[in-house]
Copies of this chain bind each other. A is one copy, B any other.
């Protein structure tokens, strides 16, 4: 070893793009909100007390007792994929078992699709406010993010999508949430779904349809997701996290069959496979027929919580604040008067009132500050008493900020 040792650097050198990444506001909230005494309206957590624990335990016991390979590596379950075809039929979607690709949840589904479709430095089209987990998915590609306006009342501006595509934009995909938008709570009209799918076909640009909250609908007859309108250009992302339990880490994609081969390669490189044991336990649970009634129960319970939050907002919040009644999902988006700053509000709310939410800024993309006076409130995790108390506390913190 006669050569000189290179000049000292004490730390491991990281890939360039990771040098600036920060934890998402949601992850920070998970930490802050786990302090005892905090009422958290921040994260999109389902209600723990509504999980079908005993049914799931029975299913797990049955699988372990009867299936010698339940704890082994294994290929994706054909039975579970067939069951997902039935679940999708409840959403008005016709698909085949061969189009179902199993994932370790919706986040992994989006991640795999982004890696399959997006070049480094490529284009992505999204609303100017979007789920932070989606932003994290595309970040490593350092993409050119094309944004279109979105609105609390009507959601994604499809005219703006058309203008971008007509003017030559060719994104790897369009990201859209049909129901219970995260963070706005809005659901797309049937007409907007039809038009967006038509644009996807015309410009041969796939839609990544994030339907994580699609089964949590409060309407008598829900509008089917865009996948019901097109099986070639709509790549559907689904999950058991909101309709069964997040800790299963099982979700699915519905994609053209020819994409499943490459997705299986990306999946293997990522984490080998989705837990055989969990796949089989979910199947055993679904076999009992409990799922359909369980989703009905969740809709009833979450609707009652939504209504409690809407009432509390009407009672406690200033008249200049604006919100809509969401027809699906687990979020209410509240816009405060111009000049209010919800980043500041959050600090006061946590410190003086022990209540947490996600400030609107966290969801803004591409340097937009449209969310600066807004906040996302979750109504699925806390019971009605805590929701009412949380909104009253938040209104008190708000008075400090506004006056």
Q: Interface residues, chain A, CB within 8 Å of chain B?
A: 1, 3, 5-6, 8-16, 18, 21-24, 27, 30-31, 34, 43, 45-46, 48-49, 51, 53-54, 56-57, 60-61, 64-65, 68-75, 104-105, 107-108, 111, 115-120, 122, 133, 136-137, 139-140, 162, 166, 170, 172, 202-204, 206, 232-233, 235, 241, 245-249, 256, 258-259, 261-262, 264-266, 268-278
Contacts and interface: CB of A to CB of B under 8 A. Distances in A.
A107 B271 contact: yes
A57 B140 CA distance: 39
A105 B259 contact: no
B71 A247 contact: yes
A49 B68 contact: yes
A269 B135 CA distance: 9
A134 to B, nearest CB: 10
A265 B48 contact: no
Contacts of A256: 12
Contact of A172 (B6, B15, B271): B15
9 contacts: A1-B162, A1-B166, A18-B266, A30-B73, A57-B60, A57-B64, A105-B272, A115-B140, A247-B277
A255 B75 CA distance: 31
Contacts of A259: 12
Contact of A246 (B18, B24, B73, B266): B73
Contacts of A71: 48, 51, 53, 56, 245-248
Contact of A70 (B23, B72, B247): B247
Contact of A262 (B18, B31, B270, B271): B18
* Stoichiometry, copies per complex: 2
Which residue, A71, A119, A203, A256, has most C-beta atoms of chain B within 10 A?
A71
Given A8-B204, A30-B75, A247-B276, A265 B15 contact: no
A342 B150 CA distance: 59
Ordered nearest first, which 4 A-B pairs have the shortest CB separation? A136-B269, A71-B245, A247-B277, A247-B276
Contacts of A21: 262, 265-266
Contacts of A8: 204
A57 B61 contact: yes
Contacts of A74: 247
A24 B139 contact: no
A104 B267 CA distance: 12
Given A1-B166, A116-B14, A247-B278, A22 B265 contact: yes
A9 to B, nearest CB: 6
Contacts of A108: 270-271
A138 to B, nearest CB: 9
Which residue, A1, A21, A24, A73, has most C-beta atoms of chain B within 10 A?
A73
A235 B11 CA distance: 13
A49 B8 CA distance: 52
A27 B133 contact: no
A132 B5 CA distance: 33
A268 B136 contact: yes
Given A14-B116, A104-B104, A271-B104, A34 B72 contact: no
Contacts of A11: 258
Nearest to A136: B269
Which residue, A204, A241, A248, has most C-beta atoms of chain B within 10 A?
A204
A107 B56 CA distance: 28
A270 B268 contact: no
Which residue, A14, A16, A27, A272, has most C-beta atoms of chain B within 10 A?
A272
Contact of A111 (B3, B12, B120, B269): B269
